[in-house]
Structure 1
Amino acid sequence: MPSATYETALVELHHLGKGHSDSVNTISFSSDGTYLASGGDDRTLIIWNTVEGRLLYRLMFESSVDCVIWHPGRAGTVVVGCESGYLFQIYDLTQRSTQRYEIQLGILNTIHCLDYDKTTCSLAVGVGTDVYVIEETRQNVYEGAVMFSPPPELEGVEQEREDRMRPVGVHFGTNGEYLIASYLAHGIRCWDTSTRDVLWHVMPPAGYPSIGSSALSHDQSWLATYNVVNGVHLYSVTSPRKQPKVSRLLKLSTSPRTTHSVHLAFPNAGCSVTCGTTTGGVHVWNVLNGDTFQVLSHSSTSRPATDRSGYAYIATGSIDKGQSTYIKIWRAKIGYCRTYTSLSHDVLKTTCSSYWHS
């Protein structure tokens, strides 16, 4: 069957209330799309049934749950990062008990971002102002945390402002061979993971001093960064050893109301980019031509999407407080994209979200 490119509008499937009581910071689908994990400022991690829109488990922590990802190689296992700096692998989820393994990096600071590479069994962690990689040497056991070289200090920036060096996104490249980290005010850095050598380092375009978040497409051909000013910059990544350049700017229809960061990612096998806003709504663009495909109605937004049985799912979470806090799950029947002939079992590592820090 010849390749083609088309998309179908996303429609609201579930409105999940009575879950979180404070801002939703992070959302992540399981690899088969059956479950959704969400974490928030109410110090809880919630596991939802995606198909039924039903709350299954609620786990409490000592501080805000700032990031969560599902383990790509172990069913029913999530990695959870907290504002306090504690990092856990949660497994054996049941109604009566769960198992928690504390992942120790040798540093205790706010966990900002996570990624896991299944090939090398390695976890990348953006913690404080640093980026670490730690290996899962056996099931639910991590050892040998290694810090990757930080970017140079910016000229004219006061030392106390170096908290702006914090990483806002970490992404493993092909088979874990390289690692890309985006920093709030220090550009984008790429390392060879075997040698830890810096392959390249780029700063955002002039007039865009900050990066609020970033996402790497599942085929590693596009890197998207939220510029905090007016939208998303798309970088074409042709080779891990070649410094990427901005391909296009995807503009939001309304300028951001605040300087809060918003999450973003690539649904539809990388043919689309989604981004939350501080003004309400989730923007969905076509990667190939930069056109706005859809704006999903929302008060404010949060994170990821996956594909199961031929459907694309996107979850979005509000940064409201109290009973008004909610999560929405959106669904779209998808067909063909680029040279793909079947998307029914592809995991679409997708994000659309509002962030909770300035």
Structure 2
Amino acid sequence: MSYEPIFRLPSSSIVDALAFSPRLDWLASGDQKGFVKIYETVTGMERHVFEFDDPVTSLTWHPKENTIFVGLGSGVVAFIHDFKNLGRQVASGVKGAEVYTISFSSSGRKLGMGIGQEVHIATPTTDRGYATTTIFPQPLEDSKTGDARIRSRGIHFIESEKQMIVSYLNHGVICWDIYTRSPIWTIAHSHVPGFIGHSHVSSDERFICINNLATGFDVYNIKSRTLVRSLQVPSHRERNVPLVSCFLRDRNVVITASHDGEARVWHVGSGMLMQKLPTASSSSIRFICAGNFRSRGFIAIAPSSKDSGVSVWKELSAPRGALSDIASTEVIVGLCVVLLLAIVCILVWHPALIPEDWKSLAEVLFRWKKTAYSMGLESVRRGRKLGAWIAQVLGIAKRNKRRFIRLPEL
């Protein structure tokens, strides 16, 4: 598994959040000026721009719908559906506290939110909105860092959405029972060398990678809560900021941020450094996100420098994988339709198959004409869809006009 750079997205402000859409059609970025920008993942073209009154602190996509959720520094979680249904907010009842993290369950029925000192779960309402239905108690264990602030740094749903793992800045990692709101197990903060800056759980729910804000990253086995691997990242006295990690397609491979402008890809089992992904800056990496869909894989990296832009990397097998994805769903069907049309033509116009009686010939032509017409419509539809995909890959798709939209004052 290796990656290559494909383009760099310009930015005029520090990017604090990145998120790929579930099918990798879009990449969303959120910055400290309050802008959310939507790019085409394949071409890097900017398609939509939305402006909020507060800095964007977190982003996540709904796993089933074309809806993006935006956490703001004011405590508001807004959401945009199909890039047009604007101004809607999750009814959390909290304002004035920063949204530190937001995360969806795999089904999309539960939205976890870390807002200020509280951790919420919001669920859909009858008017296609979202509202808080569960608020978890604060950690009982006292902080061993001397800092009593309660800050969630990662929220992860596991066990068919019956449990939720929350990592805290000063209070370790707690797995909560969602229905009873009681703790099931913990990874005590004493087991982690420093504060917790960020956490990420592998898609198979086997591992959790924790940034300990001291030596780098620690990977734990979730079932046994034992340390599997420590991944050392060079520290920087003046840049001791939270570092982000993401598990990749191979759930035994993780990418981690650093203070020197290079993201690192590790093999968890062996601890081997597999690849370094440099950015256009030597500053700390502010955010990393990774996306996988079928055989395609992408990584987006945002440095702390506002002028460095967001670098996007593609898994080397992605072009062949993307083509095979289309072939399996579009090209094969299209070829079958073309083949059927060819058979129709042979049956209708082959001399050996033409009846001597003109009345019989007319009946045959009429019958096959109806079949050919319906097949032709299907072929045209599939052909247009395939053509649109080819245009998108080649970067010749027509660019939509940028739209700057300000939400009403919150």
Does TM, normalized by the shorter one, top 0.5? yes
Deviations 1:117-156 (CA, angstroms, capped at 9, x unpaired): 1436010001111211111134631134321121125267
Q: Secondary structure at the match of 2:288?
A: coil
Match of residue 294, structure 1, among 275, 282, 287:
275
Q: What does residue 230 of structure 1 align with?
A: 215
Match of residue 282, structure 1, among 236, 245, 263:
263
Q: What does residue 36 of structure 2 align with?
A: 45
Structure 2 CA distance for aligned equivalents of residues 99 and 276 of structure 1? 33
Taking structure 1 as the reference length, what is the TM-score of the superposition? 0.82
Where do 1:171-182 residues align within 5 Å?
171-182=156-167
Structure 2, unaligned runs of 5 or more: 319-323, 327-410
Following superposition, the deviation at residue 54 of structure 1 comes to: 0.9
Structure 1, unaligned runs of 5 or more: 1-6, 336-342, 346-358
Identity %: 25
Structure 2 letter corresponding to 1:326: G
Structure 1 CA distance for aligned equivalents of residues 171 and 90 of structure 2? 27
Structure 2 CA distance for aligned equivalents of residues 207 and 116 of structure 1? 26
Q: What does residue 311 of structure 2 align with?
A: 328
Deviating more after overlay: 203-212 vs 258-267: 203-212
Structure having greater relative contact order (Cα 8 Å, sep ≥ 6) = 1
1:87 has 2:67 as partner: no
**Between structures 1 and 2, the one with greater strand share:** 1
Structure 2 CA distance for aligned equivalents of residues 137 and 201 of structure 1? 32
Number of residue pairs the alignment of both structures matches: 315
Kept in 1: contact 2:176–2:184 (CA 8 A): yes
The 1:89/1:318 distance shift into structure 2, 3 A limit, reads: same
Match of residue 185, structure 2, among 200, 209, 214:
200
Structure 2 CA distance for aligned equivalents of residues 268 and 134 of structure 1? 28
Where do 1:48-63 residues align within 5 Å?
48-63=39-54
1:270 has 2:270 as partner: no
Q: What does residue 249 of structure 1 align with?
A: 230
Structure 2 letter corresponding to 1:267: L
Structure 1 CA distance for aligned equivalents of residues 168 and 143 of structure 2? 16
Structure 2 letter corresponding to 1:72: P
The 1:119/1:92 distance shift into structure 2, 3 A limit, reads: closer
Structure 2 letter corresponding to 1:110: E
Deviations 1:213-264 (CA, angstroms, capped at 9, x unpaired): 00000111000001111211001012xxxx6121120112x22442200111
Q: What does residue 7 of structure 2 align with?
A: 14
Q: What does residue 115 of structure 2 align with?
A: 127
Deviating more after overlay: 59-68 vs 205-214: 205-214
1:189 has 2:189 as partner: no
Structure 2 letter corresponding to 1:168: R
Structure 2 CA distance for aligned equivalents of residues 53 and 234 of structure 1? 33
Q: What does residue 141 of structure 1 align with?
A: 129
Kept in 1: contact 2:172–2:187 (CA 8 A): yes
Structure 2 CA distance for aligned equivalents of residues 117 and 276 of structure 1? 24
Following superposition, the deviation at residue 309 of structure 1 comes to: 5.6
Kept in 2: contact 1:29–1:35 (CA 8 A): yes
Deviations 1:42-75 (CA, angstroms, capped at 9, x unpaired): 2110000111111111111111101000111112
Structure 2 CA distance for aligned equivalents of residues 282 and 249 of structure 1? 16
Following superposition, the deviation at residue 81 of structure 1 comes to: 0.2
**Between structures 1 and 2, the one with greater helix share:** 2
Following superposition, the deviation at residue 208 of structure 1 comes to: 1.2
Kept in 1: contact 2:90–2:132 (CA 8 A): no
Structure 1 CA distance for aligned equivalents of residues 127 and 315 of structure 2? 35
Match of residue 23, structure 1, among 14, 17, 27:
14
1:111 has 2:87 as partner: no
RMSD: 2.2
Deviations 1:93-117 (CA, angstroms, capped at 9, x unpaired): 1xxx542311121122100001111
